[in-house]
Amino acid sequence: MSSYRLHDKGHLIDRDWPIRFRFNGQAVEGFEGDTLASALLAQDVQHIAASFKYHRPRGVMTAGSHEPSGIVTLRGGGRREPNCKAPEVEIHEGLEAHPQNVWPSLDFDVQAVNGLLSPIFAAGFYYKTFFEAGQRGWHFFERFIRRAAGMGEASRLPDPDRYERANGFADVLVVGSGAAGLAAALTAARSGARVLVAEEAAHFGGGLLASTASINGIKAMQWCRETLLELDGLPNVTMMPRTTVHGLFDDNTAAALERVADHKAQPENYEPRQRHWTLHAQHIVLATGAFERPLVFDGNDRPGVMLASAAVQYAACYGVAAGRTPIVMTNNDSGYQAAFDLKAYGVNVAAIVDLRSATGSSLGEQAAAHSIAVHAGQAIVSVKGRRAVRGVRIAPFDASSGQQTGSGEIVAADAVLIAGGWTPNINLASQAGGKPVFDAGLQAFLPGEARANMAFECCGSAAGIFDLQDALSSGVAAGRTAVERLGRKPLAPPPATVEPPSPDIRPLPVFDIAPRRGGGKRFVDFQHDVTASDIALAHREGYVSVEHLKRYTTLGMAIDQGKNANMNALTLMAKAQGKPIDAVGTTRFRPPYVPVSLGSIAGRETGRQFRPVRRSPMHDWHVANHAVMLNTGPWERPRYYPKPGETITEAYIREASTVRRGVGMVDVSFLGKIDVQGHDAAEFLNRVYSNAFLKLPVGKARYGLMLREDGIVYDDGTTWRLAEHQYLMTTTTANAATVLARLEYWHATAWPELKVRLTSVTDQWAGMAVAGPDSRAVLQKIVTDLSLDAEDFGFMAVGEGTVDGMPVLIARLSFSGELAYEVFTGSHDGTAVWEAIMDAGQDFDIIPYGTEALGTLRIEKGHVTATEIDGRTTADDLGLGGLCSKKKSFIGSALLGRDGLTDPDRLQLVGLVSKENRALLPGAHLTATGSTTSIGHVTATTYSPAGERYIALGLLRGGRGRHGEALTARFPMRGDTHEIEVVDPVFFDPDGSRMHG
């Protein structure tokens, strides 16, 4: 027996409310309010995990989220969550916790053999061992290494829980709720500022929760309660427990994770398990506290070795003693304070081992008064016991050399409590501020200046202020500064008086206890099993940069991100290099401060809500009529409408054939549509299109080609002149938004003097293309107020009519190469007009057709789309050179004549016909027969119902001069070669008589 539950104490637990949970398959009982760590320690369960590399037994070392050793997996099934820190886990009825990184069991972990092989697993093991193994050798070993490595295992099942994102706003965001944080919050809140206090733990109060000091004559805990009561009662204050601010970003934006229901067996109805906050503040106060620093000595990772401050917290908050005969080892006065506090809470501290040879006499006297033996000028040089502390060797120690100087003696002990000084928690400040500043007195880094676009203040121990009274004052000052910057008058609480004075926490700058004869394992990084020997080895091998050291040894990585290790590693590095610590450098911290679940970042963007979908006004009709839908960008479009038993190929061939033979209708609502209005609209269009637009008459449409500034084709579409100063421009679906953005850019920057307005009307219009020889007859049955006779409504005509009383805008255009009309109507009327046309077409056996048949029809006609307008082709490449006016200047015209763009050997649009009567593969390379040198590629393929053969479009070097040539289409990844013939890209109706008819 070592750790145990004290008879009283523990103000955070409810001893009348037992909680039953399971750890390692065993039933364990704790109390409401316990953490997993406190409940296990109360039951003397100290060995709860295995380390990462050597699989050494590990227990709880801290009492917070920086825990490096007491790591467990929670829950099961889809809710399984690895790498949870036992001090942070709140127990609840039915909790299932599992030790991780062990196989087959915690008590018999096969991979513990790694410990015996530790000499070969030193820093750089992988680099050195596999450097010459070659790719094949590495890949052989990799599978075993990957299986052995890792920390915990995520569930492969879907997570059934709900996660949310949210935004919060405050004048002042206070991060941390210890003495300084509460003082800052109170100051800002009393001054009328909107205050938000984010506290990582379940309870507010930070270090006050375990303090034995008094503030203004009352116990610190009582002061804390009264302050919280006041803050809770203020309407301008929001208190956020279980909320970890893990990132600080520009303009005082903070990212925070709220563990909404992690402390429950299951979230309640629709309650999220976690919520990810983006907090927007005018000013931020960082009261993030400090970490107690471990010391480096043989066996410092054994279960039962923990930070002295953690032992105090377990005793005060949870009524748990870390041991029956714990020994404190310290290099500063806070170790004494911890021992005295523990005594006050009923923990029988056996001794204090002080690395310093001389301390103030009052500490010695106080220790004597508490019946605590003091071993000054000595050190714990090794820990006895594997799964628990069975004793320690205490030996004389020379602080100047950092060496054990005598053999010493073995002393009975069941816990070792380390007080190696304090490291201000500057993680967030480092993210948002300048270079941290080294403080030789504290042997720690302090926050640097805030960046220009950030407004934050650090206070309390995060700012290196460890005296409680000074910390309270610094909190008030931070709150006052924040309020003043808001332009408000601060109403600060009166200065606080603290008794007794806080201990001097400036340490003797000795953190490494080097054994007299070497041997043993002195851990620097408990997460990744990096030892002092690894750092020494890295130094011998020439790693002088802290960043290189970090990557070579893997120090400072994993879930604690070096919170416990970095300072000791820097100290060892500095010592090895004979330099001061600040000359060695420090790594800058990056977000996130703690691990953040992907679920919380995704929020509700999962499953069908993964991304938003745009739907056509006729979407429901398509679905009701068995369309198979296809996602193209954000749009969901009908791909084809299969009849029972029909394959996609059979369906699209049927649909395309019907259009060629009779009539079909396709939804074209997805096209981008831009309303272009104003006196200068024609001039504007004339500048953005390569072909002429000034003289386009009202009631006519024109195909337009838009180039980039560099002369490459950007987009195409038809533009309809609806009125003297109003045009309706259509764009490709994919480029709708970017075309509008480019038009607005050109208008704003190049031609601001033009009176023209551009408005997206994509959503205003439902569009449907009625195509085929019977299309006119179908529309003539239902369109009123507009004559569609050929002589009245010729090719590219535009006019307004009505269908069943609903206004429609009709343009005689053709993408299919057939007689065709695009019918636009207000989106709310889209389905009604669509259905009216389908009804009118019944006598003509009209069918709906989808994107597959649309593609077939356009390939047959040699019309280009995004696969040919691929960001590399010119108008001439696509056979559209005639659309580039020689009589005017337009976007792209200046660079269109560059040599590289006029080379006759450029890739040019061609038609391709299969000589093997089978489908060509899009993307296949075009090569000369017998060659493997690519001279082009296939862009789009289909079976041509009109030609009854497999055809394709492609881009081929000098293609226009190679019609009739036999080539090979190669697709090496599929091992396919295909004999083809190069032909004109217009396969169908080359003279256009059908669509002009």
Partner 1 sequence: MAEPTTPIDDGVFERSSPKLSLAVEQPDRVVQFGFWPGSAARVHRAMNARFKLAKTLAPGRFATRGNALCIRTAFDTYLVVNADRQAQEDRLAPNICAVTDLSHARAAIAITGPAATPFLNRELAVDFSPEACPDGSAVQTTMHHMPVLLLRHAPDRFVLYVYRSYARDLAGWLADMALPFQTG
Let me know the angle formed at the C-alpha of 442 by 439 and 443, rounded to the nearest 5 degrees. Answer: 70
**487, 542, 612, 645: which one contacts partner 1 (CB under 8 A)?**
612
CB of 754 to partner 1, least distance (A): 8
CB of 679 to partner 1, least distance (A): 7
Nearest-angstrom CA–CA distance, 957 and 721: 38
Stretch in the footprint of partner 1 (CB under 8 A) among 317-325, 687-695, 829-837, 940-948:
829-837
Beta strands in 43-175 (DSSP E): 49-50, 57-58, 71-74, 81-85, 96-99, 163-175
Nearest-angstrom CA–CA distance, 324 and 350: 8
Q: Please say which residue, 280 or 384, places its beta carbon nearer to partner 1.
A: 280
CB of 282 to partner 1, least distance (A): 10
CB of 608 to partner 1, least distance (A): 8
**216, 266, 278, 657: which one contacts partner 1 (CB under 8 A)?**
278
- The closest alpha carbon to 676, from 725, 633, 718, belongs to 725
Nearest-angstrom CA–CA distance, 151 and 53: 10
Binding-site string for partner 1 from residue 7 to residue 26, where x marks contact by CB under 8 A and - marks none: --------------------
The CA–CA distances, whole Å, from 475 to 141, 290, 709 equal 55, 15, 57
Binding-site string for partner 1 from residue 662 to residue 681, where x marks contact by CB under 8 A and - marks none: -------x-----x-xxx--
Residues 787-826 that bind partner 1 (CB under 8 A): 804-806, 826
841 forms part of the interface with partner 1 (CB under 8 A): no
| 115 phi/psi in degrees, rounded to 5 | -60, -35
Stretch in the footprint of partner 1 (CB under 8 A) among 115-123, 354-362, 603-611, 691-699:
603-611
CB of 721 to partner 1, least distance (A): 13
- Single-letter amino acid code for the residue at 247: G
**145, 234, 557, 613: which one contacts partner 1 (CB under 8 A)?**
613
Report the first-to-last Cα separation within the chain, whole angstroms.
99
Stretch in the footprint of partner 1 (CB under 8 A) among 91-99, 160-168, 639-647, 787-795:
160-168
Q: Please say which residue, 837 or 980, places its beta carbon nearer to partner 1.
A: 837
- The closest alpha carbon to 346, from 369, 323, 374, 377, belongs to 323
Residues 321-340 that bind partner 1 (CB under 8 A): none
CB of 280 to partner 1, least distance (A): 7
Q: Please say which residue, 29 or 835, places its beta carbon nearer to partner 1.
A: 835
Nearest-angstrom CA–CA distance, 813 and 861: 14
Q: Please say which residue, 279 or 896, places its beta carbon nearer to partner 1.
A: 279
Q: Please say which residue, 759 or 917, places its beta carbon nearer to partner 1.
A: 759
Residues 279-318 that bind partner 1 (CB under 8 A): 280
**166, 368, 369, 648: which one contacts partner 1 (CB under 8 A)?**
166
Residues 485-544 that bind partner 1 (CB under 8 A): none
Nearest-angstrom CA–CA distance, 543 and 540: 7
- Single-letter amino acid code for the residue at 7: H
Element (H, E) at 950: strand 949-957
CB of 778 to partner 1, least distance (A): 18
256 Cβ contact list (under 8 Å, min separation 6): 198, 240, 243, 244, 245, 246, 276, 277, 278, 279
Residue written as token pair 């629709």: 270
CB of 335 to partner 1, least distance (A): 46
609 Cβ contact list (under 8 Å, min separation 6): none
CB of 611 to partner 1, least distance (A): 7
Q: Please say which residue, 761 or 777, places its beta carbon nearer to partner 1.
A: 761
Evaluate whether 569 touches 549 at the Cβ level (below 8 Å). Answer: yes
Instruction: Transcribe 167-221 into DSSP letters.
Output: EEEEEEEEE--SHHHHHHHHHHHHTT--EEEE-SSSSTTGGGGG---EETTEEHH
The CA–CA distances, whole Å, from 486 to 186, 432, 459, 462, 937 equal 16, 20, 18, 23, 63
CB of 670 to partner 1, least distance (A): 9
274 forms part of the interface with partner 1 (CB under 8 A): no
Residues 57-86 that bind partner 1 (CB under 8 A): none
Nearest-angstrom CA–CA distance, 82 and 91: 16
Evaluate whether 469 touches 180 at the Cβ level (below 8 Å). Answer: no
Which residues, listed in sequence order, are joined to residue 713 by a DSSP beta bridge?
707
CB of 277 to partner 1, least distance (A): 10
Residues constituting the chain: 997
- Give the other-Cβ count within 10 Å of 155's Cβ: 15
| Token output for 114 | 């790694």
164 forms part of the interface with partner 1 (CB under 8 A): yes
Q: Please say which residue, 494 or 612, places its beta carbon nearer to partner 1.
A: 612
362 forms part of the interface with partner 1 (CB under 8 A): no
614 forms part of the interface with partner 1 (CB under 8 A): yes
CB of 201 to partner 1, least distance (A): 24
Residues 736-765 that bind partner 1 (CB under 8 A): 752, 755-757, 759, 761-765
837 forms part of the interface with partner 1 (CB under 8 A): no
| 568 phi/psi in degrees, rounded to 5 | -65, -35
CB of 607 to partner 1, least distance (A): 10
693 forms part of the interface with partner 1 (CB under 8 A): no
**830, 848, 945, 959: which one contacts partner 1 (CB under 8 A)?**
830
User: How many amino acids of this chain bind partner 1 (CB under 8 A)?
Assistant: 60
CB of 98 to partner 1, least distance (A): 30
Binding-site string for partner 1 from residue 173 to residue 202, where x marks contact by CB under 8 A and - marks none: ---------------------x--------
By the 10 Å C-beta count (0-12 exposed, 13-18 middle, 19+ buried), 598 is classed as exposed
Q: What is the dihedral of CA 962, 968, 974, 975, to 10 degrees?
A: -160
**531, 566, 827, 856: which one contacts partner 1 (CB under 8 A)?**
827
Residue written as token pair 């084709």: 713
Q: Please say which residue, 345 or 746, places its beta carbon nearer to partner 1.
A: 746
| Contacts of the segment 209-213: beta carbons below 8 A, 24+ positions apart | 209/11, 209/12, 209/313, 209/316, 209/317, 210/309, 210/312, 210/313, 210/315, 210/316, 210/317, 210/341, 211/316, 211/468, 212/340, 212/341, 212/344, 213/468, 213/498, 213/499, 213/500, 213/502
- Give the other-Cβ count within 10 Å of 375's Cβ: 21
CB of 600 to partner 1, least distance (A): 13
Stretch in the footprint of partner 1 (CB under 8 A) among 118-126, 378-386, 570-578, 721-729:
721-729
Residue written as token pair 């033996």: 373
Nearest-angstrom CA–CA distance, 292 and 310: 9
CB of 727 to partner 1, least distance (A): 11
158 Cβ contact list (under 8 Å, min separation 6): 78
Evaluate whether 294 touches 300 at the Cβ level (below 8 Å). Answer: yes
Stretch in the footprint of partner 1 (CB under 8 A) among 164-172, 331-339, 348-356, 405-413:
164-172
CB of 866 to partner 1, least distance (A): 20
605 forms part of the interface with partner 1 (CB under 8 A): yes
Q: Please say which residue, 38 or 733, places its beta carbon nearer to partner 1.
A: 733
CB of 241 to partner 1, least distance (A): 17
Site of interaction with partner 1 (CB under 8 A): 164-169, 194, 268-272, 278, 280, 604-605, 608-609, 611-617, 619, 635, 669, 675, 677-679, 723-726, 752, 755-757, 759, 761-766, 804-806, 826-833, 835-836
